[in-house]
Chains A and B, each alone.
Chain A
Amino acid sequence: MALVGRGVLAGLGVTLTTFFETYPWGRAVLRLMGRQHTNGVVTIEYPDVKQQHAERFRYFPFLVYDKEPDNLRCVACKICEVECPPQCIHIVGPAKDEQGRPLKPKGRPYPVEFDIDVSICMSCRICVDVCPFDAIEMDNNYELSDTDRFGHLVYNKEQLLRPNEYFQQIKPTEASVVDQRLAAKHAKAAAVPPAAGAPPPAPPGPAA
């Protein structure tokens, strides 16, 4: 080594360049010197500025309904409850009448209760993958902190409900795929005449 301390000085040169990159005047100086540079500051000041998340960003599930809150897609089949890895979903239902037959006000059963525990959910998206009815989707709202850890961290059905328009707004690509799939499904169901005793066909799907 010719000069002890050369490595340290070279390293300091790197930090100095980064310092220059942080300011507009510094970038101008670097350009004058004919050096390549990046745009410097990569951090944001969080509560004031929020990061733009990717469309697929997932945080917490919500239940989708079409047009009116009564018309939710969930039929209380409990597949997500069983498959949820940390077991944070709790479903009671489907709603039944006195004879024990499932109530179908909108042509399909619906859950009496649908709770998800925010403090247990680990945002894995398996509930969305396994749902055969596209009834549950992932929200991208990550600001779910609360001051009451016993009362407010279990979200019930009313808190989980979101219209399909909201889904289309936050995840346009995914929502359009789901809408097309559902429209095709309903078209198929409408084409086949119901057999005797079979339930009436499901109501028409959302406007795809």
Chain B
Amino acid sequence: MTTAAVSELLEVNLGPQHPSTHGVFRMQATLDGETIVALKPVVGYLHRNHEQIGEHATYIASFPFTDRLDYFCAMSNNLGLAIAIEKLAGIPVSERGDYLRVIMAELTRLVNHVAVTGFVLNDMGAFGTPLLYAFRERERILDLFEACSGSRMMCNYIRPGGVREDVPEGWLNRARGVVTNFPRFLDEFELLLTDNEIIQQRTRHVGVLPKELAVSASVTGPLLRASGVNYDIRKVDGYSIYPKFPFKVPLGAVGDVYDRYYVRILEMRQSVKILEQALKEIPGGPAISPKGLALVKAPRTFRPPKGDAYGRVEAPKGELGFYLVSDGSPIPYRYHVRAPSFINLTVLEDMCRGQKVADAIIILGSIDIVMGEVDR
């Protein structure tokens, strides 16, 4: 006599208001016991019409809105739009402006990676400690941002042709201090986390993203590199002055949550190298080219020639692209954002299938999404 266990599938909504979902985001999970059979990400709760607003505002007026896309990485977002506008209208960048932009972009990478590492640990159940350690360091860099741009997170600092205004006196020395001390914090952070057996148990071989799937889903950023694909736009495009800096692109082997965590730690170490070199070599001179300055002062007189341009940068989360179509007026005809968070999110179901519910939370955390960018 045998009794077959009767099992039914259970649908569970994780989110949209849930502390583990990183913003207003819903995961419609179908469960067989504890195991995820299917998972549907539901987005759109934070849609703010970013692209439509961009098509009704001048090119410069879109900059403060890009700060609010991925609000952890305002500087990288500014840089992406600035590069697209420079391509569209052929605006030269001043040399010092170029260096300042690279410094800001790399500081942003530190801010983002340190925060996301803390958040993943929070999702794993290590409440508080790693996140607050991470935020303690993040705050030092945000203070630098405040000193140069006037705002910690909504910087609105980088402009086509350079940066809006030069950094204040003594800022570079302060930045050197922060950058010099950063590896010490990274060592401490790694001592706290990397070899921790609980973290290893929770993250190894969890949420594996195969190389082929990652490439075919056009996933970018640390998520792609953790799967072992050597693709970094800083190297591929060599935009701005990145070719001047010798840095390595860290790669993962398995593509699990642990690799994603560790690739980010290694990337931060490379960013520190870039920053040290940039802060050493930064030249004097104007922080913005004359053409760029004219654009800052009078946004409505700027009429780029008819045509289109796609500018992309290696944002901390992946390839951030801005596509602009100009019809010769001061307002773009089409303004499109290729948001890395949104496209990286599309592989969520493939990574979660067959995993436990608790793992889905850390897989989501390890993708590193910001809803402001996913929904736009």
Task: State the A residues within 8 Å of B (CB).
Answer: 1, 4-8, 10-11, 13-15, 18, 36, 42, 53-58, 82-83, 85, 122-126, 129-130, 132, 138, 173
Contacts and interface: CB of A to CB of B under 8 A. Distances in A.
A4 B196 CA distance: 9
A173 B154 CA distance: 22
A82 B191 contact: no
A124 B139 CA distance: 21
A1 B121 CA distance: 22
Contacts of A1: 197
Contacts of A36: 184
B196 A11 contact: yes
B155 to A, nearest CB: 10
Contact of A129 (B136, B147, B191, B296): B296
Contact of B150 (A6, A56, A122): A56
Interface string B152-166: 001010000000100
Q: DSSP class of B's interface residues: helix, strand, loop or mixed?
A: helix
Interface residues of B, number: 42
Given A54-B150, A123-B154, A6 B191 contact: no
B298 A130 contact: yes
Contact of B200 (A7, A14, A132): A7
Q: Closest 5 A-B residue pairs measured CB to CB?
A: A7-B195, A124-B64, A58-B150, A54-B147, A56-B150
A17 to B, nearest CB: 8
Nearest to B58: A83
A11 B189 CA distance: 9
B60 interface: yes
B42 interface: no
Contacts of A13: 191
Contact of A85 (B65, B143, B198, B199): B65
A30 B148 CA distance: 35
Nearest to B195: A7
Given A56-B148, A82-B300, 5 more contacts: A7-B197, A42-B136, A56-B150, A57-B150, A125-B150
B154 A138 contact: no
A130 B191 contact: no
B146 interface: yes
B246 interface: no
Contacts of B200: 7
Given A10-B191, A125-B156, A57 B151 contact: yes
A42 B139 contact: yes
Contacts of B156: 124-126
Contacts of B143: 54
B184 to A, nearest CB: 8
A124 B296 CA distance: 13
B129 interface: yes
B359 to A, nearest CB: 20
B196 A7 contact: yes
Contacts of A124: 63-64, 67, 154, 156
A93 to B, nearest CB: 20
A11 B61 contact: no
A8 B196 contact: yes
